[in-house]
């Protein structure tokens, strides 16, 4: 690619922000453009998928994705982690071969449940629990247990036997699904892996070269059966993607885009509170390289060891990530936000203070708070 202007870290910052904070559009188009929206069950003050989409969808309100999901060309599934993606992407990942094979007893239980779901249609986990006595199993990562039927349904969904047809108060409701056989020709497998890895590059560009390797590893969660092809592609992309070296770090980005182009514009007076898994924030390595400080997601950190808070939302001001806020609902009617800054000098910036007021007003609207009810703001300390 020919470039008339040199690429600097400042230009990479602007490019990183502007390309993903595109002008708000429809919900379907936003998901198509993002390629993948990570999901998280924590509400603080809304789920991560809603906090991500509010900046990119016209008139978006918390819960719109769940309410409108049955009418969208969108699926819940796994890519580098769990979330929502355009339905067309499923053909790149399914039929999926799980890394952990079921034993004969689990295969038998899955077959029984699949026959039940096929006969019943849309099935809530409690419907399965009422018919099958699968007991309880240990949950991942801790000593608690969960209903074995719920775990089995989750495994069946991952293996492509079921799809999520809708959610009821946050709980997945399933139906049976049949994925078309995949072309197992080596060239076809290579092309599927290439398209998946490029969707990841397009979502998180610009990327430090090391981050591309990490994302290729995570892609094995969504496409473990394409592990070999993904490894081969990693070397190809590192050599073939547009790139520049700045301060010893090699940065990669999407073919056909120029980070130094003047079209990448960001409103310098706009403040935004981002989800912890927003594309701007998700790659912690990239975040620290671009903005010079480390953002920490501490929802699962013991309270006494937290430095930013339970669910700190990174604070973006223009194309600068300058701090964070923990936002909570008080009495389900008022929004309270507690701020911290990477550089305390920002706490005395009056234009920023006004921009924060505007952002909190927009968040209150997104949360559908009573327009006549005041929300409480603890001002950044001066």
Report the pLDDT value the prediction gives residue 192, as an integer from 0 to 100: 95
Cα distance between residue 141 and residue 150, in whole Å? 16
Q: What is the pTM assigned to this prediction? A: 0.92
**Across 258-265, average pLDDT:** 95
The rounded percent of the chain whose pLDDT value lies above 90 is 81
- Per-residue pLDDT tens digits for 151-208: 999 999 999 999 999 999 889 999 999 998 888 899 999 999 999 999 999 999 999 9
Task: Look at 346 and 354; give whichever has higher pLDDT.
Answer: 354
**Across 57-77, average pLDDT:** 97
Domain boundaries, the chain: 104-176, 186-252, 271-366
List helix spans (H) across the chain.
Answer: 9-20, 27-34, 48-53, 64-68, 90-93, 104-120, 125-131, 148-158, 186-204, 209-222, 227-240, 284-291, 350-366
Grade residue 333 by pLDDT with cuts at 50, 70 and 90: confident
Query: Of the ranges 1-5, 58-62, 93-97, 100-104, which one carries the lowest mean pLDDT score?
Result: 1-5
- Mean pLDDT across the chain, nearest whole number? 91
Architecture of domain 104-176: Orthogonal Bundle (1.10)
Report the pLDDT value the prediction gives residue 4, as an integer from 0 to 100: 58
Residue 374 in this model has a pLDDT that exceeds 50: no
- Per-residue pLDDT tens digits for 100-159: 899 999 999 999 999 999 999 999 999 999 998 766 665 555 556 567 888 999 999 999
Residue 380 in this model has a pLDDT that exceeds 50: no
Supply the DSSP string of 16-52, one letter for each residue.
HHHHHSPPPB-HHHHHHHHS-EE-----SSS-HHHHH
30-55: b (≥16 Cβ within 10 Å) or e: bbbebbbbbbbeebbbbbbbbbbbbb
Residue 5 in this model has a pLDDT that exceeds 90: no
Grade residue 373 by pLDDT with cuts at 50, 70 and 90: very low
Nearest of 295, 327, 284, 355 to residue 48 by alpha carbon: 327
Residue 2 in this model has a pLDDT that exceeds 80: no
Report the pLDDT value the prediction gives residue 142, as an integer from 0 to 100: 53
Other beta carbons less than 10 A from residue 246's beta carbon: 15
- Per-residue pLDDT tens digits for 271-315: 999 999 999 999 999 999 999 999 999 999 999 999 999 999 999
Report the pLDDT value the prediction gives residue 85, as an integer from 0 to 100: 97
Residue 350 in this model has a pLDDT that exceeds 80: yes
By DSSP bridging, strand 334-341 and strand 320-330 are antiparallel
| Residue found under tokens 């120029």 | 258
209-222 and 186-204 are packed helices; what angle lies between their axes, rounded to 10 degrees? 120
**Across 31-49, average pLDDT:** 96
Report the pLDDT value the prediction gives residue 145, as an integer from 0 to 100: 55
Task: Look at 380 and 206; give whichever has higher pLDDT.
Answer: 206
Report the pLDDT value the prediction gives residue 60, as an integer from 0 to 100: 98
Report the pLDDT value the prediction gives residue 171, as an integer from 0 to 100: 93
* Residues in a beta bridge with 163: 175
- Rounded to the nearest 5°, which phi and psi values hold at 216? -60, -35
Report the pLDDT value the prediction gives residue 372, as an integer from 0 to 100: 52
Tokens matching residue 47: 């789920």
């Amino acid at each position: 690619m020919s470039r008339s202007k040199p690429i600097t870290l400042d230009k990479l910052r602007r490019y990183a922000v502007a390309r993903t904070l595109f002008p708000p559009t429809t919900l379907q188009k936003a998901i198509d453009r993002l390629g993948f929206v990570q999901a998280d069950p924590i509400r603080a003050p809304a789920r991560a998928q809603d906090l991500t989409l509010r900046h990119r969808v016209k008139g978006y309100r918390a819960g719109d994705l769940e309410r409108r999901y049955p009418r969208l060309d969108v699926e819940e599934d796994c890519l580098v982690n769990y979330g929502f993606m355009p339905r067309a992407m499923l053909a790149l990942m399914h039929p999926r071969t799980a890394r952990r094979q079921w034993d004969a007893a689990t295969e038998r239980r899955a077959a029984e449940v699949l026959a039940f779901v096929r006969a019943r249609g849309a099935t809530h986990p409690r419907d399965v629990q009422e018919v099958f006595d699968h007991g309880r199993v240990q949950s991942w990562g801790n000593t608690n247990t969960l209903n074995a039927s719920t775990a089995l349904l989750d495994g069946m969904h991952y293996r492509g036997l079921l799809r999520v047809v809708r959610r009821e108060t946050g709980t997945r409701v399933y139906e049976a699904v049949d994925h078309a056989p995949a072309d197992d020709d080596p060239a076809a497998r290579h092309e599927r892996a290439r398209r998946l890895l490029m969707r990841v590059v397009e979502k998180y560009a610009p990327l430090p070269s090391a981050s591309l390797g990490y994302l290729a590893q995570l892609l094995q969660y969504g496409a473990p059966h394409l592990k070999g092809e993904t490894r081969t592609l990693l070397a190809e992309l590192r050599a073939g993607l547009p790139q520049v070296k700045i301060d010893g770090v090699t940065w990669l980005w999407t073919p056909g885009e120029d980070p130094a182009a003047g079209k990448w514009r960001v409103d310098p007076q706009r403040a935004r509170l981002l989800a912890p898994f927003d594309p701007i924030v998700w790659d912690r390595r990239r975040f620290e390289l671009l903005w010079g400080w480390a953002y920490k997601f501490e929802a699962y950190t013991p309270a006494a060891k937290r430095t930013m808070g339970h669910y700190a939302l990174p604070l973006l001001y223009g194309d600068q990530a300058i701090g964070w806020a923990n936002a909570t609902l008080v009495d389900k009617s008022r929004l309270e936000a507690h701020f911290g800054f990477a550089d305390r000098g920002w706490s005395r910036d009056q234009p920023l203070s006004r921009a924060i007021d505007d952002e909190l007003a927009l968040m209150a609207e997104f949360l559908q708070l009573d327009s006549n009810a005041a929300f409480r703001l603890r001002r950044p300390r001066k």
